[in-house]
Chains A and B, each alone.
Chain A
């Protein structure tokens, strides 16, 4: 129970519910009298601040009058619209309201400050998410299938033999290409971005220190010399802290949204009355 009380999610839910009830109570008691609009000094101040922030200067007295006129107009139109029921059955307004409710639960989630222990536990439980990527240092020589046609395999075999001879100058062998000949300590995703996922995966299976191939990519056949390949380590907690916090917060946010909704849902008794299949078919026509 003690643990439960410390649970941040519980805090959001309590806080959220409190806001709802208080809000509801307040909005009833402060409902403006019909036919009366008072623009308070506070509201005028807010209009002024809004203007100043966008224009980076205060409004002139003429502009301020304009702001007030617009505010009154907006207020009147909104009241009339609500009185006429224009806010009902409007998909845009309904979605906007739904969104506001979801913002509340997210904001409440955002208030929670994780403790050190909580972050460490998250880091331990999701170690793979904080692993550095594998890195490769390699060279590649390319054969363009369109230039070699049926001889691609044979040409590849003799290229490989040449490459593995002492003193071979790999830069001058194979076909010209815009692809890099050599990459130093490139992450697997960098390799994939340039050569494609397939190539990057196969690169991981090669031994170091010898020319090997062919390795297929979307461009053609590659002969590859892996000089170094380092497995990514899990980042120590101190190094990963910021990322851990980001991931933790994201998880909290998603959970808060779901739990908030689940909590609301429990207060409702939902009945879905389905039309018969012929009725549905008729409606869809």
Chain B
């Protein structure tokens, strides 16, 4: 199979080019399809009567739609996934992501409501490569006399004889080391090649992106410091290296060593890779350190630079809980208590202490990043945010009514909610099956659906996290947005012209001006209406203390903030018993311009958007209805899905 290494790219690129030629007469070259319509000269002229009407860049090359995907899918190639009964491999994961029906490991048919745009298969690098995939057909194996001989035997119908020879040679230890099918290098390599081949085969530029990747699972002492690695390019590059592991002395569990490996990898492959961490909530205070757990010392400039260079994104929400913030850290944020996993580390060997939380959640890390930047001159925690699944089923299935769980053993079944998910050794602390969160996906504002375009958008952090629904979320920051920009028919064109998108940096503040933001959100076409769009601001004051505040900036209906400054609840239409809701409350879209009322040009700050959906049934409600089971009292049966954008940062001029 590896021999095939399908190169669909030239073919598809060719047909796209052909298509462009065919389409050309109907659509002149000076038109651009935006997320709110085609921008042609006539309509642009109406919007911007002055000359030039708008920047050609803004008109033609900005992303017009977000691409939705999962940066974190495990398959049977991961040791733990296999142990939990996963039978589906990388090829199945990609097929499923493309919207095809597959048979889940538990023997149930499963299909997404609609295809995803991209998937990164990220099997654990430790223990990767389970079994000798004999004669994997890699060019190097074909280059080996022994390998070629056996391959020829098989193809001339002498397969059985070849098999016997292989086994005999194995027993005698006379198999050429390039193809040796024992635990060790060749085995490892063949699994890696298989992963690469599956991605290259599934990748269809313009239609579906299949990334090559793996997970580096640093988990010493049960403290989650995991990172996923994504390759920008194809197998030809990725084959030049093998994944970095945590097992010493082959690899290391310290992120600094991962970054060194990444630097060597980029050099060797002559291409780019990036890393993103996840589940700080299970790291027991080690994910976003100020004091490094490996040395006990305060992080230095080298750490800050490495982290910023190699880890542009953070996976802020997934099945093992949501990682935006925690009620302990954000006591005034009424939406902070969402899908918390805060009992301990990943294996519950050490229970949580409140002082750990600050170094685990995205919002507090973004705040501490400002502090570290003031101290070191580099912000180690200047990351964008995505959601992903971390499903160990090869199935990126996290819709509430189509949730296939974290592991194959937690695929739909009458008892999965009431079954313990993790138990501490003494049995006193338990994370139950119902605590799994049906979340999330990564939304990427890329210019097209290709590996390069999506990867580049990830690098520039023009991404946002959703807990599952595919809402469209825009955030632009600048100093010149006006209220009427929110009435414009082409807000994206204005956004890119007058400001920077999510993940960007505000320019220095003109005298007397405060930052303004153009915010917009459109609900998932088949999902629930939106409750509100909020901006979360974090800043560092003159004393070096960090602060945060959540502002409601756009909302549905005619609600007004109460005496406490809080907007009244949107209400709920959820019928738990029948697992239904209606879109009679909330709004299908929200758009507004907001200006920071408390801006101080001397203070570092960040701003990110949070979009909240109206309440809908949680996956536990769909389970209860389908299986006719009664959930224990403590099980939440409704949820408020949400999206988190990457921040826009403000740094005072020196």
Contact = CB atoms under 8 A, between A and B. Distances in A.
Interface of A: 5, 11, 14-15, 18-19, 22-23, 26-27, 29-30, 40, 42, 45-47, 49-51, 53-56, 59, 63, 66-67, 70, 91-92, 95-96, 99-100, 102-104, 106-107, 110-111, 113, 137, 139, 144, 146, 171-172, 176-185, 189, 192-197, 199, 217-220, 227-228, 239, 242-243, 245-246, 249-250, 253
A68 B147 CA distance: 28
Given A67-B250, A181-B36, A253-B91, 6 more contacts: A50-B184, A171-B489, A176-B489, A178-B36, A193-B65, A197-B114
B491 A250 contact: no
Interface string B239-275: 0011111001111000000000100110010000000
B82 A99 contact: yes
A49 B525 contact: no
B159 A11 contact: yes
B154 interface: yes
Interface in B162-190: 162-164, 166-168, 170-171, 173, 177, 180, 182, 184-185, 188-189
Contacts of A189: 99, 114-115
Contacts of B527: 218
Report the 3 A-B pairs with minimum CB-CB distance, sorted nearest first.
A181-B37, A110-B1, A196-B525
Contacts of A27: 171
A148 to B, nearest CB: 13
Contacts of B589: 177-178, 219
A95 B85 contact: yes
Contacts of B470: 193
B140 to A, nearest CB: 12
Contacts of B248: 66
Interface string B11-37: 100010001000100110000011111
Contacts of B487: 176
Given A11-B157, A184-B27, A196 B526 contact: yes
Interface stretch (B126-134, B285-293, B391-399, B570-578): B126-134
B38 A59 contact: no
Interface residues on B, range: 35 or more
A230 B122 CA distance: 38
B26 A228 contact: yes
A160 B382 CA distance: 50
B447 to A, nearest CB: 15
B1 A249 contact: yes
A30 B261 CA distance: 39
B83 A95 contact: yes
Interface of B: 1-4, 6-8, 11, 15, 19, 23, 26-27, 33-38, 43, 46, 64-65, 76, 79, 82-85, 87, 89, 91, 95, 99, 114-115, 130-131, 133-137, 154-155, 157, 159-160, 162-164, 166-168, 170-171, 173, 177, 180, 182, 184-185, 188-189, 201-202, 241-245, 248-251, 261, 264-265, 268, 470, 472, 474, 487-489, 491, 520-527, 583, 587-589, 591
B526 to A, nearest CB: 5
B26 A137 contact: yes
